[in-house]
Structure 1
Amino acid sequence: MITRTLSLTTALVTGLAVVAVPIAAQAAPERAPVVSASVNKELTQRFNSYAENAGRWTGADSAYSVDLPNGSTAWLYSDTFLGEVDENLGRPKDSPFVHNSIIVDDDGELTTHTGGTNAAPESLAKVAGADEKERWYWFGDGTVEGDSLRVMLLEFVKTGSGVFDFKFVGNAVASFDTDDMSLTGITNLPKSDVNWGSAIYEDRSDGYTYVFGVEDKQAQKYAHLARVPSGSLTTDDWEYFADGQWGDDPTGSTRILEGVSNEFSVSRFKGKFTIVTGDATEALSAKIVMYRGADIEGPYTGKTVLYQTPETSGNVFTYNAKAHPNLSSGNRLLVTYNVNSFRPDDLYEDATIYRPRYIDVTVKNLKG
């Protein structure tokens, strides 16, 4: 359920200290990148106030962001608590809970979108005919095509009675009307062991939408890469990057980077393709790191620590860090990460734990 992230995470975020990472020796030594970070107070206050006063959304994980045609931002969430919090910022044990939702941020005005009704909310996207306690979708990254918001779906099935007893079984794409976030369709993708949708990168120069995915081996996680002509995520055949070439075999993609979390971001930052991710090279790491490459296919190198999460302690862990290039500028990257607890009761006793965190990371002295 909400603690899904033990198997879906093992990777995380943050550190307010300035970080300097050596660059390979050259004839004239380059200055190392300089990193600083601070809490984004505006978004932190906006979402905390909404969670504690609106009586609708009280916390969630994933937190992808996609710009909509009207200038607003769609925040894509997976496991989501709804309802209200009490005067002590606790959640009632009967709080509604769904596996995916969207908040639209229209210049600071937040609106939560779910399926069902306000009185009986359901996930926005559901596996047809399935009991959501047994089979469900979590959201991946999204993109806009025309008047449709396309969101990657990861299908999971319960395998036992434990909170971590579930497994990945398939990929799909949900389509939503950008005006009201109503679901207009779900398109299944070819069978693959890769969890597609960890990140989406739109390349305006070559006409492709690039979709990154994760091969999740629990303790080891590997990034994979696919592409499809822009505007045809649900209608055209995908190509998969394998051993330096593009092919049509959905089971044949090969690893391009080890150590990413299940969710991450890819953007063009300071002249290079940049991956921001939780550090999955360490078990339940609190580090958020950055890799860079000249080509979208990689190689991605120069691992740089951006931040170390202060929340990580005891039962509390952090996971699935990502940058939001649509909400970043200049040397600054807006980065979010998720917070959870191995003790489920903590999420009811303190509703503030299970919410995304928002930080501004500034990186200087980067060479393109």
Structure 2
Amino acid sequence: MRFVPSVTAASTLLAAALLVPATSANAAHAAAAAAALTCNGSAAPTIGTGTPNTSMNNKFTSYGNSNALTDDWTGADSTYSVKLADGRTVFGFSDTFLGTVNANGSRPLAIQDGGTTPFINNTFVVQSSGGTLSSTAHGGTASSPTALLPPRDDSHLYWAGDLTTNGSTEIQQPYREYKVGSGDLNVAWEDNVLARFSTSNLKQPISITPLPSSRKIMWGSGLMKADGYTYIYGTEDLGTDGKHMYVARVSGTDLRGQWSYLASYGSNPTDPADDTWSTSESAALRVLSGVSNEFSVSRRGNFNILLTQDTKLAFSMEIDTYLSCSPAGPFGDEKTVYNTPIAKPDGTPYNDADLYTYNAHAHASLSSANNLVFSYNMNSLDFTTPAAQKDVYRDVSIYRPRFVNVPVTG
């Protein structure tokens, strides 16, 4: 059975124990940003150390274990979110287990491994305006569920990106399409697409349209609205040559509009007015190295906080923040705010060397003025046979998001 979370593992396996050096351009931009910790007269916020968000962790534990319906969510990864105008919050997931949970906390085998549990590549989980996780949205039917974005054939799949709203009744979400080969880690990115969903029908996209893909940048790692634009952040995954951040933007809130790509910081990297933007994807500037395949940028007053899992070292457990005066960077003042424990939601260690964490990003929908909430994912490199002995079947809590609170003051 393929676990696409290993898309992240595939490159880090090849780069095990390698330190990915920053380019001289990145170093210069980081130095400029580090010196620019006053933005429009405001001092930089103080970012504290993260602690588990027990409320959200308990909420997803209860929802995943409820066994209310046979097509219910029992675990997934990616974990993006967006708050709707009607007060609901939609969580976007990539690979997802549906079905039920056994009394001992294990998971029945997936259909792909000869069992009965549905395993599909992307879903939504909806939180009501009152804060209750109320439903799982997927394609197909309850008895035969499919992904929200079913693949074009058995050799492809769609991996979810960040979520944003266009108006009050539409969700837009970039997806990355992958070609799947044989074996758990044999996947390769092919292109990006945009899916649009009506907030009144989250089970079927309104449309699917191509997104820029010529530079092999996986657009949709993060999205943020600011200053009349929607900023689109992307990751270029070069395996042993590291993972690199790029920035594009579109005027307004519709990602189908004309994209512009950050091409240069100009002679004064601390002044966003000096930035150069191009309508050609080929001109896109490598902004920062060491980001993850999924990350986030959040607006805090006059500052922008980039939060990412540090990938300069393979299988790093460090969650870092960077600061910038502009949504496009340059980003500097790197700070480690959390080290992900290999532990259950209650803090009990798993004591399992196969487990790893990945793809941390913040949730504007859950954060407040003095608290930044982020999530990260956990998975396993256990490819044991028979399948029933694999970690993700043995303990459902492994393959579920973890939420963390980070205090932010100033």
- TM-score if structure 2 supplies the norm length? 0.80
Maintained 8 Å contact 2:8/2:293: no
Map of 1:17 onto structure 2: none
AA partner of residue 49 (structure 1): S
For 2:335 and 2:162, the matched residues in 1 are separated by 23
> What SS does the corresponding residue of 1:45 show, helix, strand or coil?
helix
Is 1:276 aligned to 2:307, yes or no? yes
**Which blocks of at least 5 consecutive residues in structure 1 are unaligned?**
12-22
- Superposition CA RMSD, Å: 2.2
Q: CA deviation at 1:76?
A: 0.3
1:87-166 residue pairs with structure 2 within 5 A?
A: 87-93=103-109, 94=115, 95-106=117-128, 107-128=131-152, 130-131=153-154, 134-146=155-167, 147-158=169-180, 160-166=181-187
The answer to whether 1:177 aligns with 2:198 is yes
- Kindly provide the amino acid, as one letter, of the partner of residue 143 in structure 2: A
Whether 2:246 is the aligned partner of 1:201: answer no
What is residue 73 of structure 2 aligned with on the other side? 57
**Structure 2: distance between partners of 1:287 and 1:5:** 15
Query: What displacement does 1:45 show?
Result: 1.1
Report percent identity of matched pairs.
37
Tell me the TM-score normalized by structure 1: 0.88
Aligned to 1:227: 249
> Mean alpha-carbon deviation: is it higher for 279-288 or for 119-128?
119-128
Residue identity in the other structure for 1:98:
I
The superposition leaves residues 25-64 of structure 1 with CA deviations (integer Å, 9 ceiling, x where unpaired) of x9xxx99946232221211111111101134110000000
Aligned to 1:348: 393
1:311 matched to 2:348 = no
Q: Helix, strand or coil: the match of 2:161?
A: strand
> How many residues in Structure 1 have an aligned counterpart in Structure 2?
344
The equivalent residue for 1:6 is 9
2:60 counterpart (28, 32, 47): 47
The structure with the largest helix share of the pair is 2
Q: Is the 8 A contact 1:337 1:358 kept in 2?
A: yes
Q: Deviations over 1:303-358 (max 9, x none)?
A: 10110011176100000001112211122111100000001410001111000001
SS at 2:104's partner residue? coil
> Contact between 1:174 and 1:187, CA under 8 Å: does it hold in 2?
yes
Q: Distance in 1 between matches of 2:302 and 2:161?
A: 26
**Structure with the higher fraction of residues in strand conformation:** 1
Distance in 2 of aligned mates of 1:31 and 1:272: 7
Q: 2:213 aligns with which of 191, 194, 219?
A: 191
- Residue 405 of structure 2 is aligned to residue 360 of structure 1: yes
- Helix, strand or coil at the partner of 2:304: strand
The 1-side partners of 2:157 and 2:198 are apart by 21
Residue 322 of structure 2 corresponds to residue 291 of structure 1: yes
In structure 1, the residue matched to 2:297 is 266
**Structure 2 equivalent of residue 249 of structure 1:** 280
> Does the 8 Å CA contact 1:9/1:319 hold for their aligned counterparts?
no
Letter aligned with residue 201 of structure 2: D
Question: Are 1:78 and 2:117 an aligned pair?
Answer: no
Give, in angstroms, the shift of residue 241 of structure 1: 1.2
1:15 corresponds in structure 2 to none
